[in-house]
Chains A and B, each alone.
Chain A
Amino acid sequence: MDLGQFFGRYGALLAEGTWASLEMTIISTIMAYIIGIPLGVLVVVTAKNGLRPHRAINAVVGWIINITRSIPFIVLLVFILPFTRLVVGTTLGIPGAIVPLIVAAAPFVGRMVEQSLAEVDSGLVEAAQSFGATTWQIIYKVYLRESLPSLIRGMSIVFITIFGYSAMAGTVGGGGLGDIAIRYGYQRYQYDVMIASVILCIIVVQVFQSIGDIAARAIDKRK
């Protein structure tokens, strides 16, 4: 079977799988950031030397992040099935995959954001305070603004991690490249299809890593 025949037979399947993987990953990444940014900010702001130190809030948010991150994704996926059904009404298809992906990724994003914000020079925070900035103004005009290049670099790491998780979510009903590789490669011994899906995974990861690197470099004004 030559390449023409191969793509004739499996092209549509692979294209559909790539699209399903991207859809799961992109939607989950966006949702994970919507939840994860406030988590990361909260940890930084309530830390001992933060803008508003608060031991209890800091500890609780820290625990939530750590506990969620301790559960292996494939276990989490099954563990929260009732919750997934409650939220989206199904455990199948892309909606059924996105819920566990968000639950797993949001705390991860929280930690990534925390690390980026921690890189911001405390002297800048002090300077902003000296000009009469409020806590909110410092959060988004200093912490988030000054760490933007680092946040973007973190985002490509998050994207690639969720992309990997989405392969697992796919096998329990979400579809996507991971699902194709397992179904054809593992269950039907069609190695050519498995190799093609692996190559597509590599391309997706490379593309998003490059986009992240280029974007971060373009907006970073430090030399």
Chain B
Amino acid sequence: MIEIEHLTKLYSANTGDHAALHNVSLTINDGDIFGIIGQSGAGKSTLVRCINLLEQPSSGKILIDGNDITHYKGKQLLALRESIGMIFQNFSLFQQRTVLGNVTFPLELRHENKAKREQRAKELLDVVGLAGYEQRYPSELSGGQQQRVAIARALANDPKIMLCDEATSALDTRTTVAILDLLQEINRNLGVTIVLITHSLAVAQKICNRIAVIDDGKLVEEGKTRDVFDNPKSPITRELISNDSSMAFSDNETTEEKAKFQELREEEA
């Protein structure tokens, strides 16, 4: 369980301190696929980076299974990060390493022996559907395949939590659906709690059981995905829902909507 309590993150600028996050409190339960939604610059990226302390919060607490992690340093910090996998919008794969070398990277860091880590990496590549790709290089793979490698790499340390930073934003619709399916499978089969940031309501609606809406560093709404979508309380959420051409992944979408969504995606890319 991840309990975020009164989290604030300030950035100092010439014009004075700017709050990227302001007094955010949230609880993410074990086994959740928790969506954090908001427009770009809303602070969702900062929030998720506080969970593995890539960003140091200015005040507030983050409890993981009851332990306040915000003061972790040195070995304790490295161990915390090992226990939390992360994937990124642009995949962040090591270009000079093979697929296998990328997946074994986290194990190499803690000096796991070669045979063991390669064995583990092969199992994980199987999980993400890339068996046989061990000796390829990232530049030879499609975006969706690269994100699968990144997912395998994030799973290498058997994390309990996986953070996804706009993990599907660089992918086309069909690939997005496939990656979301994979994340859902990992959540169900391996019991990994997933915290996912996205600006796309369609993504959140497809796989998140609970969501939180962030705007201008503040938490504006939180609840079960269906409740938030059916009965949005804040104007921001309503705006997000009406602006989003999304709903594209729902089963009864029209081809027209689908085409429109695809167009928007291409524009973004």
Contacts and interface: CB of A to CB of B under 8 A. Distances in A.
Contacts of A131: 81-82, 86, 105-106, 109, 153, 156-157
Interface residues of B, number: 31
B92 A146 contact: no
Given A127-B88, A221-B139, A223-B139, A132 B82 contact: yes
A125 to B, nearest CB: 9
Please classify the interface of chain B as helix (H, G, I), strand (E, B), loop, or mixed, using the class held by over half of its residues.
mixed
B110 interface: yes
Contact of B92 (A121, A137, A220): A121
B96 A123 contact: no
A222 B86 contact: no
B52 interface: yes
A129 B109 CA distance: 10
A126 interface: yes
Interface residues of A, number: 24
A127 B92 CA distance: 6
A127 B108 CA distance: 14
Contacts of A134: 78, 109
A128 B101 CA distance: 13
B79 interface: yes
Interface string B216-247: 00000000000000000000000000000000
B106 A132 contact: yes
B249 interface: no
Given A141-B108, A146-B96, A222-B95, A130 B52 contact: yes
Contacts of B77: 132
Contacts of B138: 221
Contacts of B81: 129-132
A132 B85 CA distance: 10
> When A and B form their complex, which 6 residue pairs have the shortest distance between CB atoms, in order from nearest?
A132-B81, A127-B92, A132-B78, A131-B106, A130-B86, A132-B82
Given A222-B139, A223-B140, 11 more contacts: A123-B92, A130-B81, A131-B105, A132-B78, A132-B82, A132-B157, A145-B94, A145-B97, A221-B137, A222-B137, A223-B139
17 contacts: A124-B92, A126-B54, A127-B86, A127-B92, A129-B81, A130-B52, A130-B54, A130-B84, A131-B106, A132-B77, A134-B78, A142-B94, A220-B96, A221-B97, A221-B137, A223-B139, A223-B140
